[in-house]
Structure 1
Amino acid sequence: MDKNSNAYTFIFAVGMVIVVAVVLSFLATSLKPMQDKNVKQEKMQNILNTFVGDSLLVDGKKVLLTRELASEKFDQYIVNQYALNHKGENVDGKEAFNIKLANEIKKPVEEQVFPLYEANYEGTNYYVIPLRGSGLWDAIWGYVALKEDLNTIEGVIFDHKGETAGLGAEITTDWFQESFEEEKIKNDQGDIVGVEVKKGYSGGKDKSDNQVNAISGATITGDGVTKMMKERLTKYKPFFQKKKNSKLAIR
């Protein structure tokens, strides 16, 4: 066949498309187990990060909480996993870690399953709740660890899909996440209100006003964090009440 003909060019182009498609399909298939492992380990890392921080003491030495280390230590610190219904009852046959929050939040509340992780670290119990909402451009998500009083925040971690670098993407920075530490999620009346990311906040270090300072130029993303926290946390009120009643009964 004449290599300068249109037919040859067309056949060559089609052949290359097929070869590239086969190679990409093979790579996607062969790399999927590794990708799934990385996603799983990153999830473990994020959950532990909310109450452990970014490092752990291992054999007396402070070690960075890597994905691999988080995978190794996860079951040591996570003592219970709950898959709750809207009444705060554990759902049989469901595993908290395998629940995809992106799918759950699209369902009616009565059909949703709410994952929750109970942790014990250095003799203290924490409750870690997954979060998911919307930022300016796309989804935002994270985890919040509550202390045993089910009101005080031990730590949070946030992430996003497409927020603007230097603006909304700042929700992933240490300074923003650390501002949530010791904040309360309930108001003075005991209602769950979450934590408001407030533009022009002037409360200083007040940890009882349910507010933190906003990110300059990222009002919509900040509002997304506010709504996400309140919307998700209020869904755990029945569980919180059961825990509170259980503690009172024990006393």
Structure 2
Amino acid sequence: MKLNTNSNTYIIIYSTIMVVIVAFLLAFVSQTLKPMQDANVALDTEKQILNSLNLRGLSDEEAHATYEKIVAFDETQNVYVCTLENGDVKYVLPLKGQGMWGGISCFLAIDSDKNTVYGAYFNHESETAGLGAEIKDNADWQAKFQGKKIFADGDDSKIALSVVKAVNNETTVDAVTGATVTSTAVSKMLQDQLAKYMDFLKN
């Protein structure tokens, strides 16, 4: 019996078989690549943490080796405890917020006094190139956080570290030019997320 390739039954059966085959192939490829994808994500996180410690420009191999050597994660505090080669201890706090078009994040490294910023690395899911994206792409802007204070002098009751346009003092960083919304989002992230670490910072 000759198949009627123009019949609705044939088309439905053929389409169903093709969908199942394609779905199987996609699932197989996804599972095959997942270990590699997970490793790449982990390495990227390690490099971001090292960037916050002002250890930038390392190759993948150097970055992983350095991370394994100096970084330990404290699950109780949700803090990365980092012992530099000179013996200095730094703490890296992971922060997350919402930018103009998507999520933003930061790894903020602080000195052992738990008040002075040692370094910072910002990332984003989708911000405007040349404007909001500068929080990730502009290392010079990130460097402005170095030496800033989380608390204003003599007042550890509230977070003072913020991003403010045309203001630059011990607790503020000048906003990214032309990216007011993203800069405001970064400031809100710092205020909200650091407040969750208040017990750790004051201990």
**Category of TM-score, reference length = shorter chain:** 0.7 to 0.9
What TM-score comes out, normalization by structure 2 length? 0.86
Alignment-derived partner of residue 81 in structure 1: 73
Q: Say whether the 8 Å CA contact 2:163–2:184 is kept in structure 1.
A: yes
Letter of the 1:49 counterpart: N
Superposition RMSD on alpha carbons, in Å?
A: 2.1
In structure 2, the partner of 1:136 is: 100
Q: Map 1:48-197; keep pairs closer than 5 Å.
A: 48-55=50-57, 65-78=58-71, 80-84=72-76, 114-123=77-86, 124-173=88-137, 174-191=139-156, 192-197=158-163
Distance 2:90 2:15 in 1: 59
Q: CA deviation at 1:47?
A: 1.2
* Contact 1:52 1:121 survives alignment (8 Å): no
The answer to whether 1:20 aligns with 2:13 is no
The AA in structure 2 aligned to 1:75 is E
Q: Distance in 2 between matches of 1:33 and 1:26?
A: 13
Residue 183 (structure 2) pairs with residue 222 (structure 1): yes
What residue number does 2:35 align with?
Answer: 33
> When the two structures are superposed, what TM-score results if normalisation uses the length of structure 1?
0.71
| Structure-2 change in CA distance of 1:8 and 1:28 (3 Å) | same
Q: Residues of 2 paired with 1:194 and 1:130: CA distance? A: 18
**Secondary structure, in 3 states, of the residue corresponding to 2:182?**
helix
Runs of 4+ more than 4 Å apart: 4-7
Distance 2:41 2:143 in 1: 24
**Residues of 2 paired with 1:165 and 1:238: CA distance?**
37
Question: Letter of the aligned partner of 1:218 in structure 2?
Answer: A
Change (3 A) 1:16 1:52: same
Q: Supply the distance in 1 between the matched residues of 2:110 and 2:74 (Cα, whole angstroms).
A: 15
The CA distance in 1 between the partners of 2:113 and 2:18, in whole Å, is 62
Measure how far apart 1:220 and its partner are: 2.1
Q: Deviations over 1:117-138 (max 9, x none)?
A: 1212132221111101111122
> SS of the counterpart of 2:46?
helix
What SS class does the counterpart of residue 156 from structure 1 fall into? Answer: strand
Contact 1:133/1:139 (8 A) holds in 2: yes
What SS class does the counterpart of residue 168 from structure 1 fall into? Answer: coil
Contact 2:114–2:202 (Cα < 8 Å) also in 1:
no
Matched letter for residue 143 of structure 2: E
Unaligned runs of 5+ in 2: none
Q: Provide the identity percentage.
A: 36
Q: Secondary structure at the match of 1:148?
A: coil
Q: Distance in 2 between matches of 1:197 and 1:138?
A: 19
